[in-house]
Amino acid sequence: MIKIENEKDIEALEKNPKSNKIVCRFLLDYIKSITSGYPEYTLKDYGAFYFLECQADSELHEVLHLSSPITQSLVEFSEVIIVQNGDEVIKLLHSCFIISNDFAISLFAEVGILDSSTEQHLLDERLEDRTVTVEV
């Protein structure tokens, strides 16, 4: 699991040999668009993104600031983001949880990484899929 609060945190994800370059590029562009309106370009005081690398990451609900396991937590919204670069296509599941009036988290995971019950719970609050093209 990689916690992302600012652009520098993407570097940890990029250093992981298992990380996909187009996923890293998408997350970098996304964090830039979100943090551009915050002091010091960080989400630190307002929340975080978490990139889940495996099923076990989704079981660490306390680390994710959730009071209950994901399957028992209220999902604000979820979406499948189809990230593409040329012929390469990755489907990312993005789910948002409101923790308080001033704090929210977003979980990102490649579709298929989480167990079926967790993924289905997140998809129950699914918005329309969207496609994003990135260049690496």
pLDDT in tens, the chain (136 residues): 999 999 899 988 888 888 899 999 999 999 999 888 877 888 888 999 999 999 999 999 999 999 999 999 999 999 999 999 999 999 999 999 999 999 999 999 999 999 999 999 999 988 889 899 998 7
d(CA 130, CA 136): 19
pLDDT attached to residue 13: 84
The structure's pTM equals: 0.92
pLDDT attached to residue 85: 94
Q: Where in 27-75 does DSSP place strands (E)?
A: 47-51
Domain spans, the chain = 2-133
pLDDT attached to residue 19: 86
pLDDT attached to residue 38: 79
Q: Where in the chain does DSSP place strands (E)?
A: 2-4, 47-51, 77-85, 88-100, 103-110, 130-133
Q: What is the dihedral of CA 54, 115, 112, 82, to 10 degrees?
A: -90
